């Protein structure tokens, strides 16, 4: 009898163990790869009823539906099958790879957790319309369209992309927000301000619509061949009519959140022709005028004058280098100051760029500033054109005369002098030495003896003075904050300073320094932050708005540096601006 009890106990324990091991709690997703304009369904399923269900945080997604709970209970061939499901509907916030974290539930006193599920979010995709979809009416009545001014431009020719939101007359739009912005990797880009735009009437595919211009962007392609323009994606709150009516017979409206995208656009960028391309062509494309002027043509030695090289017109003004002026070596010339007066409209860049050289003559005489040539590709005639400035003579009236062979206009400028051979070429090398043994000297009462003896006593007033200065410096709270901020700026920008003169390496190091500073200062990870988010965080810390704008402007310069010709002067200016801005943020942030 005792043996039978032991056997029954063993069977009972084994059955309980098997039953416990058979509990299933898992997470299932509708798909593991989807576009940013699609919805993701996540089901958390269990085969036994449980309590205290805790969902994950769903980082990277917005919960647009759920949790919806469903229970299935069935008997098949005398075997009971139970299934309980918690369902969520998620909308992606941005592209990338995300992980649906672990959910947990308590079943029969035990805690069970699901396995994390990885999901990849891609750019928006074209989805077939489903008449059974509740948002079908919204999908028919609202459209986001990208209109490209020219799908076959030349390299560095401006094109405009205009994003228009078309809405049917029977549909209303409450608001919208951008959830995915094109990156324009192969273009130099500039957004045009669209604030104050009004709703206008138009047609879309032959039907009457209202539309609003949401965004205008000017692009200059930086590579030839077929280039892709990524789509812009919006999350729009739409009011659509339903089949229901109120007591007065009016049609009731229903609000639907709809993700709309402007589809991918491909443009074919043509290379500039090789035939007739000047040797000094630096990439200028457009319609330009060119001139070289000086502030004066007569002056005295050691006085200064300004020589200005200027290009004016319409085209890619920020994307090429100005030609250099040629001057006699006896004139002292300083690094040019680069100035830009450019406005960007939907037709592209227009305005002027210039390099101003400061010239200081050292000697009396006449110095020629020979004509300088500038070449560009004219889009109207589709040919290369060359513009050449006139020769300018700089007359230095008073000053010392240059008697060297390189004097301006000197008759012996190219005369070579014969080398005189010296038979005693190694006379300066001594072949015999005069070594004298040092005399014995006593240490006692020597200069070194008295210095070591009296030095500590003389150093006491110096130590007292240094300690007093240190105490005064420690008490200077405001000054210490300034010094600490300046030291911090130099610390983060040390890597960028080493790369000055190397455009790509410098701006990569500068951008990394700015990100590292934000991570240390705000205790955040900057990889998931946009410029708008960084701006709002700094303003919340009581940082002055102008300082924040300067900080964001440095970020934008780092992004544009790949596609913009940058001089050493510009890099030094960006470095100084970054150091000053980091210092100001560190002093102002609370």
CATH number at 488 reads 1.20.120
- Assess whether 338 and 236 both reside in one domain: no
- 3 state SS of 458: helix
Please indicate, yes or no, if residue 451 is contained in any of the structural domains: no
| Alpha carbons 590 and 541: distance in angstroms, whole number | 5
- Assess whether 293 and 320 both reside in one domain: yes
- Assess whether 264 and 291 both reside in one domain: no
For residue 265, pLDDT beyond 80: yes
Please indicate, yes or no, if residue 540 is contained in any of the structural domains: yes
- Computed over every residue of the chain, the mean pLDDT equals 79
| Alpha carbons 296 and 441: distance in angstroms, whole number | 70
- 3 state SS of 342: strand
- Assess whether 113 and 154 both reside in one domain: no
For residue 466, pLDDT beyond 70: yes
Q: Comparing C-alpha atoms, which of 180, 201, 181 is closest to residue 191?
A: 181
**Model pLDDT, residue 405:** 43
| Total number of domains in the chain | 4
- Assess whether 265 and 317 both reside in one domain: no
Please indicate, yes or no, if residue 457 is contained in any of the structural domains: no
Q: Comparing C-alpha atoms, which of 302, 342, 352, 345 is closest to residue 322?
A: 352
- Assess whether 117 and 141 both reside in one domain: no
Task: Name the residue with higher pLDDT: 520 or 262.
Answer: 262
Please indicate, yes or no, if residue 278 is contained in any of the structural domains: no
Query: DSSP code of 402?
Result: -
Domain finish residue from 335, 363, 396:
396
Tokens found for residue 22:
């058979």
Q: What phi and psi, each to the nearest 5 degrees, are found at residue 366?
A: -115, 130
- Assess whether 577 and 487 both reside in one domain: yes
For residue 383, pLDDT beyond 70: yes
**Model pLDDT, residue 55:** 92
Mean pLDDT of 136-141: 73
- Assess whether 210 and 116 both reside in one domain: no
pLDDT band at residue 3 using 50, 70 and 90 as cut-offs: low
Domain finish residue from 208, 239, 269:
269
For residue 16, pLDDT beyond 90: no
- Assess whether 300 and 241 both reside in one domain: no
**Model pLDDT, residue 562:** 58
Domain finish residue from 369, 396, 423:
396
Please indicate, yes or no, if residue 527 is contained in any of the structural domains: yes
For residue 150, pLDDT beyond 90: yes
CATH code for the domain in which residue 116 is found:
2.60.40.740
Please indicate, yes or no, if residue 453 is contained in any of the structural domains: no
pLDDT band at residue 227 using 50, 70 and 90 as cut-offs: very high
Mean pLDDT of 259-272: 89
- Assess whether 71 and 99 both reside in one domain: yes
Contact 129, 136 (CB under 8 A): yes
Task: Name the residue with higher pLDDT: 309 or 52.
Answer: 309
Each residue's pLDDT tens digit, 386-445: 999 999 999 998 888 876 544 444 433 433 333 344 444 444 455 555 555 555 556 666
- Assess whether 496 and 574 both reside in one domain: yes
For residue 514, pLDDT beyond 60: yes
For the purposes of burial, counting CB atoms within 10 Å of the CB of 165, is it exposed (0-12), middle (13-18) or buried (19 or more)? buried
**Model pLDDT, residue 235:** 87
**Model pLDDT, residue 446:** 74
pLDDT band at residue 483 using 50, 70 and 90 as cut-offs: low
Task: Name the residue with higher pLDDT: 355 or 509.
Answer: 355
Tokens found for residue 322:
């100005």
| Alpha carbons 461 and 448: distance in angstroms, whole number | 21
Mean pLDDT of 493-513: 77
**Model pLDDT, residue 404:** 58
| Alpha carbons 490 and 426: distance in angstroms, whole number | 51
CATH code for the domain in which residue 351 is found:
2.60.40
Contact 145, 262 (CB under 8 A): yes
| Lowest-confidence pick of 20-34, 116-130, 320-334, 409-423 | 409-423
Contact 519, 526 (CB under 8 A): yes
Q: What domain range includes position 538?
A: 477-588
For residue 310, pLDDT beyond 90: yes
Report the share of the chain in percent with pLDDT over 90. Answer: 25
Mean pLDDT of 358-379: 91
pLDDT band at residue 9 using 50, 70 and 90 as cut-offs: low
Please indicate, yes or no, if residue 513 is contained in any of the structural domains: yes
Please indicate, yes or no, if residue 196 is contained in any of the structural domains: yes
| Alpha carbons 208 and 170: distance in angstroms, whole number | 11
Which residues does residue 299 pair with via DSSP β-bridges, in sequence order?
396
Each residue's pLDDT tens digit, 77-135: 667 778 888 889 898 988 899 999 999 998 888 889 899 999 999 888 765 554 444 46
pLDDT band at residue 379 using 50, 70 and 90 as cut-offs: very high
- Assess whether 255 and 306 both reside in one domain: no
């Amino acid at each position: 009898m005792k043996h039978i009890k032991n056997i029954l106990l063993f069977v009972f324990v084994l059955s309980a163990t098997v039953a416990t091991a058979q509990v299933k709690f898992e997470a299932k997703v509708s798909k593991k790869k989807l576009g940013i304009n699609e919805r993701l369904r996540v089901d958390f399923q269990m085969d036994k009823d449980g309590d205290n269900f805790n969902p994950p945080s769903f980082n990277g997604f917005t919960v647009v539906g759920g949790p919806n709970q469903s229970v299935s209970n069935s008997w098949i061939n005398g075997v009971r099958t139970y299934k309980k499901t918690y369902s969520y509907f998620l909308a992606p916030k941005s592209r990338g790879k995300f992980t649906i974290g672990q959910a947990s539930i308590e079943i029969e006193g035990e805690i069970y957790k699901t396995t994390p599920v990885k999901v990849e979010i891609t750019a928006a995709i074209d989805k077939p319309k489903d008449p059974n979809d509740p948002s079908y009416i919204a999908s028919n009545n609202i459209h986001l369209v990208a209109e490209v001014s020219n799908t076959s431009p030349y390299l560095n020719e401006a094109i405009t992309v205009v994003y228009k939101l078309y809405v049917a007359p029977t549909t209303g739009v409450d608001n919208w927000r951008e959830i995915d912005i094109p990156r324009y990797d192969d273009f130099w880009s500039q957004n045009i301000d669209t604030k104050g735009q009004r709703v206008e009437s138009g047609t879309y595919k032959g039907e009457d619509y209202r539309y609003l211009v949401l965004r205008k962007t000017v692009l200059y392609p930086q590579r030839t061949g077929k280039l892709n323009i990524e789509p812009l994606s919006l999350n729009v709150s739409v009011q659509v009519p339903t089949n229901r009516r109120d007591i007065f017979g009016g049609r009731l409206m229903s609000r639907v959140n709809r993700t709309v995208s402007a589809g991918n656009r491909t443009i074919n960028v043509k290379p500039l022709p090789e035939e007739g391309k000047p040797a000094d062509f630096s990439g200028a494309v457009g319609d330009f005028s060119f001139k070289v002027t000086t502030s004066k043509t007569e002056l005295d030695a050691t006085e200064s004058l300004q020589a200005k090289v200027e290009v004016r017109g319409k085209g890619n003004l920020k994307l090429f280098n100005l030609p250099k002026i040629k001057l006699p070596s006896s004139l002292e010339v300083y690094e040019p100051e680069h100035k830009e007066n450019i406005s960007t409209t939907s037709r592209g860049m227009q305005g002027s760029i210039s390099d101003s050289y400061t010239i200081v003559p050292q000697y009396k005489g006449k110095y020629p500033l020979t004509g300088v040539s500038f070449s560009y590709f004219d889009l109207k005639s589709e040919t290369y054109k060359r513009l050449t400035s006139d020769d300018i003579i700089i007359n230095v009236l008073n000053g010392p005369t240059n008697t060297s062979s390189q004097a301006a206009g000197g008759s012996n400028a190219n005369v070579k002098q014969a080398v005189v051979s010296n038979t005693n070429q190694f006379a300066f090398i001594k072949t015999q030495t005069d070594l004298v043994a040092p005399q014995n000297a006593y240490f006692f009462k020597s200069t070194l003896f008295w210095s070591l003896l009296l030095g500590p006593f003389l150093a006491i007033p110096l130590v007292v003075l240094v300690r007093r200065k240190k105490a005064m410096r420690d008490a200077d709270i405001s000054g210490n904050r300034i010094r600490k901020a300046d030291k911090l700026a130099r610390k983060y920008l040390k890597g960028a300073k080493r790369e000055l003169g190397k455009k790509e390496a410098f701006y990569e190091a500068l951008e990394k320094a700015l990100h590292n500073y934000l991570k240390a200062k705000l205790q955040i990870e900057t990889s998931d932050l946009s410029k708008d988010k960084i701006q709002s965080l700094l303003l919340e810390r009581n940082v002055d708005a102008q300082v924040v704008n300067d900080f964001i402007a440095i970020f934008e310069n780092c992004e544009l540096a790949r596609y913009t010709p940058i001089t050493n002067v510009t890099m030094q200016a960006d470095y100084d601006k970054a150091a000053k801005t980091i210092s100001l943020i560190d002093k102002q942030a609370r």
